Structure 1
Amino acid sequence: MSKFKEFSTFKKIVIILVALLILIPLITFMVVFFRIHSAQVDDTYESQYNKVEGVTNILLLGTDGRENELAYRSDAMMILTVDANHSDIKLTSLARDTYVDIPDHGKGKLNAAYFWGKEDLLFETIEKNFNIGIDKFVQVDFDDLMNIIFVIGGVDVEIEKREIKSLNDGIPGAYDACTYADKGEMQLIKGAGLHTLNGYQAIAYARMRYLDNGIYRDQRQRKIISGMFNGVKDLSMAEYPKLINSLLPYVSTNLSVGEMLDLAFTSYSFANADSLKQAEFPIIDDKHVKGGKYKDAGWVWLYDVNSICVLHDFIYDDIMPEDNEYLKDDSKIELNY
């Protein structure tokens, strides 16, 4: 082969390699772009609060609707806060049984707002009762969450001895509902300790209802979300497109492509924290909340309306609830009877 032909062949190889280096990321981005658009839903709600610069509140909704149900309540509600002002990511559970004023529907449980008006009414209810601005939402059905957890390789959760029986009682039903192609043979949990839960095990854990109460259930759900966060926080930015491409078919959101990318780059610099900062509202103690049956609402949490400052301080000012000065003074407690 002449030197000219050798050079020509070499040049073709270089051109092909360069083309691949350019086209593969481009194609990956286009696929992710398409998937993001397919996951988006129309949303017309406008927050009554001005956006706080540097803080983005995303409402995470876990729904548990049964087949052919057109209306159902939200099973899990958490505020995921990306706080660039304090370089933190925070996760706040909102107890589903919190007694609130639902606009145009009277008083009832917080999760009933989703039943009556989906995301928009739930947004409005949270903002009206808690004075917290909600910027966006991400919704996932619990059945789809099983697939997401399989995709990321499971979640690490510390299982208590008292939880084992209730967890194993729920695993067969979750396994039967799981649609993940490679879910394998059903596996029960054999002992207490740290376990890497697969999709159906994790959902069985998050759904446990009768072992204790809703607050413990919220804590278990936060453990699952925290475990998912810890499972992906060490990925490089180059690995994010593949991950997003795998996860988006299972979620719906009103985040735009630009907003997703902006949040990804904003949070990447501080997403290597050891863990998410976590909180729960109402404040569950023997002073600022009262649980029980009330009027025709069933079992609810009546909460101290003045304690919303604790929620606000945690989200916007990075003050942990246990460090909040308000909780040290009992003179202003006013339950929402």
Structure 2
Amino acid sequence: MKHFKRVAFILIGLIVTICLSGFGYVYFKLNKMYVKDEAVKNTEEQGTMVEGITNILLVGTDGEYIEKWNRSDSMMVVTIDSKNKDIRISSIARDTYVDIPGYSTEKLTHAYAYEGIDLLKEVFKVNFNLNIDKYIAVNFVSFMDIMDELGGVEVNVEEKDIKEINKYIDACYGYYKNKDEKDKEYITKSGVQRLNGYQALAFSRIRYTDSAFARDNRHREVAESVYKEFAQKGVETYKKCAEIILNNTKTNISPIEMMNLAYTVLKINDKDIEQFQFPLEEYRNGHIISKQKGWVLEWDKEPNLEAWHKFIFGEEK
């Protein structure tokens, strides 16, 4: 069976977790996952607003490794805009056809498997004209535990997806470490409902009832639900979630800077997170390009990048 996929969307909650967990506890935990980067320096004190626009690349790998060797099966850019008091999420399709320096033109998802985060950041610079200096990468291990610790997440299950989600529940439950305590439960109805850990993972893995872009919409739906759940919980829940996430996470954001970003997110308190799907539907073409490279998304550069940069940075460049 394929490894669990698409877990980066839980990381929008990480920023809130870190702020609310208590500085001393989280500072210690952050140092376990922090990778020093000379290009990223921050000397602000705890509780300082981060001015302007901050972009963080969130990466979810399709296996247990977060250094490289596994593909980046889920990629989002979280934009924290303190000037306009706004949080925005961009989802980048894994099958986007890009130039990977030193390799070839192929799916975006392969860059991380080749050389990890450094190559993926280079791909963003070369293809999308985006200089991404901050990142958070996570593997699939923590997903189900986080969902359960939060008491589940609320999502809208469509009628057409019930059969497919139940198929994935069979697979995900086999990896569920709490199956001795909880019996397997299938989804029996459509509509807005609360899903537990293995159900939420199954929901995120649905891929054959519609398009890759509908799947990305489900990822963002889970991301927003996680964000809202974190904002309602207490300190003990934050500590437990921080323990789970930080043990399976890699980032180049320093502990102090992470605290300040978390403080900024809470001060912004965005109730309606804007979302963007790259590439845009009207400026892309999904097709099988060759037997070797499979199904890819070719995209029109100028209109896609103009719209995406406007979404991230606003009218001013």
Distance in 2 (CA, whole Å) between partners of 1:42 and 1:106 is: 29
- Structure 2: give runs of 5+ residues left out of the alignment: 1-20, 41-49
- Once the two structures are overlaid, the 10-residue window that deviates more, 157-166 or 180-189, is 180-189
CA contact (8 A) 1:154 1:199 kept: yes
Distance in 1 (CA, whole Å) between partners of 2:235 and 2:257 is: 16
Q: CA deviation at 1:212?
A: 2.0
Partner of residue 317, structure 1: 314
**Equivalent residues, number:** 284
CA contact (8 A) 1:161 1:191 kept: yes
Distance in 2 (CA, whole Å) between partners of 1:318 and 1:186 is: 50
Q: CA deviation at 1:126?
A: 1.1
1:205/1:318 CA distance change after superposition, 3 Å: farther
Q: CA deviation at 1:70?
A: 6.8
- Once the two structures are overlaid, the 10-residue window that deviates more, 32-41 or 93-102, is 32-41
Cα displacement string for residues 195-233 of structure 1 (whole angstroms, at most 9, x for unaligned residues): 111111111111122222211111111111111011122
Distance in 1 (CA, whole Å) between partners of 2:181 and 2:38 is: 38
Partner of residue 300, structure 1: 296
**Which of 163, 170, 173 lines up with 2:171 in the alignment?**
173
Structure number with the bigger relative contact order (C-alpha 8 A, sep ≥ 6) is: 2
Q: CA deviation at 1:135?
A: 2.8
Q: Are 1:111 and 2:109 an aligned pair?
A: yes
- So what's the TM-score if we normalise by structure 1? 0.77
**Which of 123, 127, 149 lines up with 2:121 in the alignment?**
123
Is the partner of 2:281 in helix, strand or coil?
Answer: coil
| Rg (Cα) greater in structure | 1
Q: CA RMSD in A?
A: 2.7
Amino acid across the alignment from 2:31:
H
Is the partner of 2:102 in helix, strand or coil?
Answer: coil
Q: Are 1:251 and 2:249 an aligned pair?
A: yes
Distance in 1 (CA, whole Å) between partners of 2:289 and 2:25 is: 51
1:88/1:318 CA distance change after superposition, 3 Å: farther
Partner of residue 265, structure 1: 263
Distance in 1 (CA, whole Å) between partners of 2:237 and 2:143 is: 20
Q: CA deviation at 1:142?
A: 2.3
Partner of residue 101, structure 1: 99
Identity %: 37
Amino acid across the alignment from 2:135:
F
- Give structure 1 regions of 4+ aligned residues with deviation exceeding 6 angstroms: 236-239
Partner of residue 195, structure 1: 193
Partner of residue 275, structure 1: 272
1:162/1:130 CA distance change after superposition, 3 Å: same
Cα displacement string for residues 29-72 of structure 1 (whole angstroms, at most 9, x for unaligned residues): 433222111122355778xxxxx9611111111111269x9712
CA contact (8 A) 1:32 1:244 kept: yes
Q: CA deviation at 1:311?
A: 0.4
Is the partner of 1:212 in helix, strand or coil?
Answer: coil
Q: Are 1:38 and 2:35 an aligned pair?
A: no
Distance in 2 (CA, whole Å) between partners of 1:205 and 1:139 is: 21
- Structure 1: give runs of 5+ residues left out of the alignment: 1-26, 47-51, 320-337
Distance in 1 (CA, whole Å) between partners of 2:308 and 2:181 is: 39
CA contact (8 A) 2:173 2:179 kept: no
CA contact (8 A) 1:73 1:114 kept: yes
1:152/1:251 CA distance change after superposition, 3 Å: farther
